[in-house]
Chain A
Amino acid sequence: MDDKRAEIRHSIMDTRSLPTLPGIISKLNSLSSNDKSSAEQMAQLVASDQVLSARVLRLVNSPSYGFYRVSTISNAMILLGVNVVKSLALSSSIFEIMEKNVVGLWEHSLGTGVAANVIARRLKLAECEEISTAALLHDIGKVIIKIKFADDYDQLLALIDTKGISIRDGEMELLATDHAEVGAWLAKSWHLPEKLIEPVACHHQVEKSTTHQLKTAVVHLADVLIKASGFGCSGDDFVPLIQPVAWDLLGMSEALLAEIVEELEERLIEVKNFSMEIQSADETST
């Protein structure tokens, strides 16, 4: 079983790209070139997609550019330039078959990014955009498992269905690793900054976070809130408990949480509309 873990870890090393939703690509294609509003729309599209965001961050952090660590999409856009980001995005591969869980996971990731943003702003934390980006990327390990280990992924779904366990428990049982670790391997091998890697790695185990605890705690809480809200689908229907260590780190209270949830519900309406737009862009393009 540990062989599987080693195999997954090894396969990360030659992973240079991952597929994204066809709707994102057709939206990008429809943006006219060279005006300011389309540059902003492009940034918004890239920042809504975990795979595109990760690829853009991989490029801007690649040693050949030699920049100091870059952890947000807006900074990446400034440094790479609109043309480079657009060409990179348009070169993405797309999911061949649009299964329900692909869209579900995309919505879950986007929703978690939005939730993390709401929490970070409400708590007046520093580096809100970095926190949102980390939250957007938190489940990228699931994309890797699905794409690179499709057979195992199907087995995994069958396993959690018959045993009635969470996707993470299923991953541990079947693969001897979980999507958090797999996602962190990818983030590391793509030279992403530590402040993004750690929240991805520890979003199920906040206590393991050492240097970016606040960010990790926000991503964890955002993940739980989105699962509880029923927005998107992260692979199973379980809502994990909010870990006490995260609760304490963030100085959370019942009242504060209620305010956050209320604000989040409103934001999720916009996010749902955006998601419908992306999905219909896909239909019109085919």
Chain B
Amino acid sequence: MKPQLRLTLVSTDQALAGHLAIRLQSKGYQVLCLSRLAGVLGSIYSDPPNIVIADLAEIDPEILAIVKSMKADCYFSTIPVLGLLSSARVEEFDWQECPLDDFVAMPVLYPELFSRISLSLQRIQRVFDNNPLTRLPGNTSIQQAIEKALGKPMAVCYVDINNFKPYNDVYGFSHGDGVLRMLARIIFNAVNESGGGFAGHIGGDDFVYLVPLERAEAVAKTVIANFTTIVADLFGEVEKSNGFYCALNRKGQEEQVPLLGIAIAIVPTHTQKMQHYGKVAEVAAEMKKLAKQSNESCYVIDRRST
């Protein structure tokens, strides 16, 4: 069974709150009604709900302040806040002043309220999980995709860039970000053009993609070939023919750094040992270590069945 979604209802109108709570509970939500406004933020911070409904029918400055503080903290701003507004005032509502994610007009039409809640939850997932730099889905989606793949003939493929730190140091973060965006797009296109799958961005220079096992190596080869082609454009003629560029190491000595390459660790998910997400990451780390032994781009696949 799906875990119950937890909903916090902020209203000073106890009759309305009671009414809403009953309807929402009948839909399977776990509802917490808060009418003592001083305690609202503390309650949300200590035990964050999945969604907040704020009663703004009588625009209460204290409730507005609560919504604003929540949205000002990037950790809690991912919780969708739905405002209940009086129909007469919807048009004059100051959306900039009060950063709601959505609203429902009073008197409440319940089917609409339920749909708005579902939509807000979906939307926040889409927007907040995607990596802002590359727009690929992030860790929540990645974990879901991997869990869905366990026990099936799929492969989880971890990609990262060799010698990315010195590249950033020498050429600057904005160049580095350009490289990350390009790699993201290379992986995304390779996965899609092979027939589909999942591509995600774990963070930094760590990426992951999932494809059916029989396509995993072909996609890895495409990603490596395309990355090699694209990277050639980033360096000058001298660096290209040398195969390295110069950087200062931690001791301030000049050091030859190989041109950018990538390492891919391929972990099949159909074997007995792949029972949970953590095991996939553990095997990936072992494979990554092997792939990293080479300065050239390469992939390593785990063929052990146990």
Residues of A within 8 A of B189 (CB): 78-82
Within 8 A of A (CB), among B66-89: none
B233 engages A66 (CB within 8 Å): no
Output the least CB separation between A7 and chain B (Å): 36
**How many angstroms from the CA of A65 to the CA of B179 in the assembled complex?**
11
**How many angstroms from the CA of A78 to the CA of B225 in the assembled complex?**
10
Within 8 A of B (CB), among A177-194: none
- Decide yes or no whether A71 CB sits under 8 A from chain B: yes
**How many angstroms from the CA of A1 to the CA of B233 in the assembled complex?**
41
Residues of B within 8 A of A39 (CB): 193
Residues of A within 8 A of B175 (CB): 68
A68 engages B226 (CB within 8 Å): no
- Decide yes or no whether A11 CB sits under 8 A from chain B: no
Output the least CB separation between A68 and chain B (Å): 4
- Decide yes or no whether A211 CB sits under 8 A from chain B: no
Residues of A within 8 A of B226 (CB): 78
Q: A65-B181, A66-B178 are in contact. Are A78 and B186 (CB under 8 A)?
A: yes
Which residue from B178, B188, B193, B229 sits with its C-beta under 8 Å from A68?
B178
Tell me the interface secondary structure of chain A in the complex.
Answer: loop
Tell me the interface secondary structure of chain B in the complex.
Answer: helix
Contact with B along A72-102 (1 / 0, CB 8 A): 1011001111110000000000000000000
Output the least CB separation between B187 and chain A (Å): 11
Size bin of chain A's contact surface: 10 to 19
Residues of A within 8 A of B234 (CB): 68
Residues of B within 8 A of A71 (CB): 233
- Decide yes or no whether B270 CB sits under 8 A from chain A: no
Kindly report which residue of chain A lies nearest to residue B237, judged by CB atoms.
A126
Query: Can you report 17 residue pairs joining A to B where beta carbons are below 8 Å apart?
Result: A34-B193, A39-B193, A65-B181, A66-B177, A66-B178, A67-B181, A67-B185, A68-B178, A68-B179, A68-B182, A69-B233, A71-B233, A75-B233, A78-B186, A79-B186, A79-B189, A81-B185
B193 engages A70 (CB within 8 Å): no
A81 engages B188 (CB within 8 Å): yes
Output the least CB separation between A132 and chain B (Å): 15
Q: Nearest 3 A-B pairs (CB), nearest first?
A: A68-B178, A81-B189, A78-B226
Kindly report which residue of chain B lies nearest to residue A77, judged by CB atoms.
B189
